[in-house]
Structure 1
Amino acid sequence: MQLKNLLRSGLFSSSILAGIAVFGIPAISAHAAAPMAKTSAPGFYRTMLGDFEVTVLSDGTVSLPVDKLLTNTTPEKVGKALAKYHQQSPLVTSVNAYLINTGSKLVLIDSGAGVFFGPTLGKLQSSLKASGYQPEQIDEIYITHMHADHIGGLVDGDKAAFPNAIVRIDQHDTDYWLSQANLDKATGDAKGSFEKSIAILKPYVQTGKLKSFEGDTGLVPGVKAVASHGHTPGHSIYKVESKGQTLVLWGDLMHVAAVQFADPSVTIQFDSDSKAAYAQRQKAYADAAQHGYLIGAAHLSFPALGYVHKEGKGYAWTPLNYAPLP
């Protein structure tokens, strides 16, 4: 009778009560293991630079066979350098964009890959919205260079994904990638790159919202383009300054931190001019190490902000210490 009354009370499960009745001790109630979620949250990281708000937006990741893509080295050397940091090829590689809120302008630097690199990329819109902004709010978009993983997110189908934004790109890149003559001469994968560039920029060209610039150019107060031609004919980096603090966004000045910081001479097959790209990288490393300003790059591991310092014959990378905004 006592067992029946306890069951009716609902205070104890039948399995526990059975243990009490048979052994005089509580029985352990078994539960199935929780299923794995197997998804990640949209990626953004926010910090302040003087009076400017900087939000790093993840477009996702892509696995790259960097032992085959990196040049002026060997696969063995690449493998050894990666292993030092518990990495291997194919290397899971971040694709990042940067949102700068100056207080008067909302500026996006690079736009991610959109639909052009498969399902592991193209996450920028969800990251942007999760960060508290909408694509209609973007005033300006500055492109480091016109490879598809940097411009693909500009479009949604055949429409502008950022309907109110002006897109600014160094004229050396627009002249090269939007040239019908270059498209006609190209073959294979190169032809596809020209076709993608023309299609992606088309809605901005048609509405007069593609504005090219040339070389070192101030764009909005506190944000300046700095020519770093080499990776592509018009590759640019962007210097952001507020209240004496500086952030320099490198685009594709470098790709593989575990390899190219220690040995800046290592280049990559994607470079239009590998010698010029190496010279620009060496110059940027030295300047960042000397002045100690903050760095961000498209393919550094998310959230891709940190500092560079000299180490031996090369350089080393120190990620920004995580600190949530108050």
Structure 2
Amino acid sequence: MKKLAHWSCAFASALALLATTLPATAQVPMQKTQAPGFHRMMVGDIEVTVISDGTIRLPVLQLLRGDRAKIADALKRGFLGEQVETSVNAFLINTGSKLVLVDTGAGQLFGPTVGQLVTNLRAAGYTPEQVDEIYITHLHGDHVGGVVATNARVFPNATLRMDKRESDFWLSEANMAAAPEAAKQFFQGAMLTTKPYLQAGKMRPFEGATELVPGVRAVSTYGHTPGHTIYTVESKGEKLVLWGDLMHVAAVQFEDPSVVIQFDSDNAAAMRQRVAAYEEAAKNGWMVGAAHLSFPGVGRLRSNGSGGYTFLPLNYSTLK
């Protein structure tokens, strides 16, 4: 028994010595990155891939126009503050014969939290060279900035398209000269991003509502900008409407579509377009997608019966 006690004591001492000489277990570092930002869905026979360009933090309480107390309360009930990290989404449409990109994110115009479109496009299985056409909802920088990088075309084989009213307005030197100083950057951004496509003969505006490729149609929604356009995707009785900037802050503007934003060229017209789009989508059960809905930003609307709406995100599908 004495030998056993002596052995136990020696073993315990050895374990204690080993514990003091072994290095402490290292903490596992946090990754602090998201998975590649793409989300795939089908509209009939047409494949639509939502591509994230990243997020922008917007001072929405400052930018939104309406009853300030009600806006602040809606943000609070949405567990949001005065600033909201806002998604910047683009939509890649594969019709089977054409590959079409609706909007392109901010590119190099808005700092390090955006400009992820090409990275996420490649992660989704596509390359910039495969894109046939680019449809721009409007020429604000967070929608068209991604078409260029270091003044060169990011999508070398694509034709850049938008409503002629939009290009005529933002690409006008006279309009820029007459604009307030704070608004000149919008003109400069539009000119900078479209120039390489103009020079290459790869920019082709359209006029008003029209079918651009089979299954994809432009719909005029002038207001947020002079030529703001939304795009519809239709196949086998299913329909997806891509809203561009008809709305910006889900926690506020679904509940109260009358709330407008500082970025609108015409607040009243933009509000009318939003109200009409909400009503039409809810009535018909259409799928909707928007540039600034939280990624992936696709779902349906249900009327709450008092002028407001509830956004219902699409059920996730493996597409099998």
TM-score (norm 1): 0.91
Q: Which residue of 2 aligns with 1:237?
A: 230
1:66 matched to 2:66? The reply is no
Identify if the C-alpha distance between structure 1 residues 19 and 61 changes in structure 2 by more than 3 Å, giving closer, same or farther.
Answer: farther
What SS is found at the alignment partner of 1:22?
helix
What SS is found at the alignment partner of 1:213?
coil
Distance 2:117 2:188 in 1: 22
1:182 matched to 2:175? The reply is yes
Q: Which residue of 2 aligns with 1:5?
A: none
* Contact map agreement 1:19 1:25 (CA 8 A) in 2: no
Runs of 4+ with deviation above 4 angstroms: 23-30
Q: Which residue of 1 aligns with 2:194?
A: 201
* Contact map agreement 1:79 1:89 (CA 8 A) in 2: yes
Amino acid at match of 1:171: K
* Contact map agreement 1:42 1:123 (CA 8 A) in 2: no
Q: Which residue of 2 aligns with 1:4?
A: none
Distance 2:41 2:65 in 1: 35
Which of residues 9, 12, 22 in structure 2 aligns to 1:22?
A: 12
Distance 1:193 1:227 in 2: 21
* Contact map agreement 1:122 1:153 (CA 8 A) in 2: yes
Identify if the C-alpha distance between structure 1 residues 23 and 127 changes in structure 2 by more than 3 Å, giving closer, same or farther.
Answer: same
Distance 1:66 1:19 in 2: 68
Which of residues 107, 113, 118 in structure 2 aligns to 1:120?
A: 113
Which of residues 32, 42, 51 in structure 2 aligns to 1:38?
A: 32
Q: Which residue of 2 aligns with 1:85?
A: 78
**What does the per-residue CA deviation read over 1:23-57, in whole Å, with 9 as the maximum and x for residues that have no partner?**
89999985221011122233000111111111000
Which of residues 284, 292, 295 in structure 2 aligns to 1:291?
A: 284
**What does the per-residue CA deviation read over 1:140-160, in whole Å, with 9 as the maximum and x for residues that have no partner?**
000000100000001011111
Shift in Å at residue 201 of structure 1?
0.3
Q: Which residue of 2 aligns with 1:318?
A: 312
Shift in Å at residue 20 of structure 1?
9.8
Alignment of 1:2-21 (within 5 A): 21=11
What SS is found at the alignment partner of 1:211?
coil
Shift in Å at residue 187 of structure 1?
3.7
Shift in Å at residue 180 of structure 1?
1.3
Q: What is the Cα-based RMSD across aligned positions, in Å? A: 1.9
Structure 2 unaligned segments of length 5 or more: list them. 1-7
Alignment of 1:93-104 (within 5 A): 93-104=86-97
Structure 1 unaligned segments of length 5 or more: list them. 1-17
Which of residues 133, 140, 145 in structure 2 aligns to 1:147?
A: 140
TM-score (norm 2): 0.92
Q: Which residue of 2 aligns with 1:11?
A: none
1:57 matched to 2:51? The reply is yes
Distance 1:78 1:42 in 2: 33
Count of residue pairs the alignment pairs up: 308
